[in-house]
Structure 1
Amino acid sequence: MHRTLLLSALILASCADMMNSHRMMAAERKMLETRKLQQAGRWDDALAMAERMHGSVARTIQSAPSQKSAQGGRIDVTPLLAAWEKGPFAELKTALQKRDATRSAAAFQSLRQQCVNCHAVLGKQHIRLAEIP
């Protein structure tokens, strides 16, 4: 019985990791789609897609707020999410709402860099994010 419980726990943990990986890949796709919509002048659609991107990122963090670092310790990533939300994501939303192409281009770059920084803090530099055109 003990082995069955252990195996079940390992399977559930693996499924959770896969779900979070899937959500983050979806967030990246949504980030790129947001940019395409913005470049096409579809500002309202871009803003809606940005909100969906935010949902993917937020659900990932909320489902696993404590992540293992490269050094083996645990890191609470909720402050990183809060910084992302209040910084580059808020700036992107404002730029999209104001339909400011120059400001949104800069906001996309800041947003992407914040994602890269979070991955670096966790020792996940192997996770590559697409460049934003």
Structure 2
Amino acid sequence: MKRLLVLSLMIVLPSCASMMNSHRMKAAQRKMLDTRKLQQAGQWDEALAMAERMHASVSKSITSAPAQKTAGGAEVDLRPLLAGWTNGSFAELKTALQKKDARHSTHAFASLRQQCINCHTVLGKTQVQVSEIP
């Protein structure tokens, strides 16, 4: 009986973690779109706060399971990708929002989205679509 319980937990727990990460990443995508809407409405401070919440969702998702298997079975450490995203396009977006710079924020959103797509591509999760940013 004890072995069955252990086996069941070994099967269920990774599935739960995967579902949690999927939920967090979907939330991050909604927050990215909400950040853009707030920025376009001229609500710069609110957009910056939403961007921080988006970053938290992505960061929690990756730090909770930094090593992910690709579609081909290879293991990839996502921490360097997260660092690149955080210090690259996310930092660019944050700066643009702080400066209330619409032109630069538009470029930053496009870069941010592209880095999301790149990460999904590395993992072989091309079926995961990242919404267009208006």
TM-score by length of 2: 0.98
Q: Which residue of structure 2 lines up, in the alignment, with residue 77 of structure 1? A: 78
Q: How far, CA to CA, are the matches of 2:115 and 2:74 in structure 1?
A: 21
Instruction: Report the secondary structure of 1:128's partner residue.
Output: coil
1:47-82 alpha-carbon deviations (Å, 9 max, x no partner): 000000000000000000000012201100000000
Which 4+ runs in 1 deviate beyond 6 A?
A: none
| Alignment partner of 1:26 is 2:27 | yes
2-side partners of 1:70 and 1:13: how far apart?
16
RMSD over aligned Cα, in angstroms?
A: 0.6
Deviates more, 1:6-15 or 1:97-106: 6-15
**1:88-107: CA deviations, max 9, x gaps?**
00000000000000000000
What aligned pairs does 1:1-133 form with structure 2 within 5 A after superposition?
1-133=2-134
Gaps of 5+ in 1: none
Where do 5+ consecutive residues of structure 2 fail to align? none
**CA positional deviation for 1:8:** 1.2
1:17-75: CA deviations, max 9, x gaps? 00000000000000000000000000000000000000000000000000001220110
Whole-Å Cα distance in 1 between the matches of residues 123 and 14 of structure 2? 18
**Partner letter of residue 53 of structure 2?**
R
Matched letter for residue 71 of structure 1: G
Q: CA deviation at 1:3?
A: 2.1
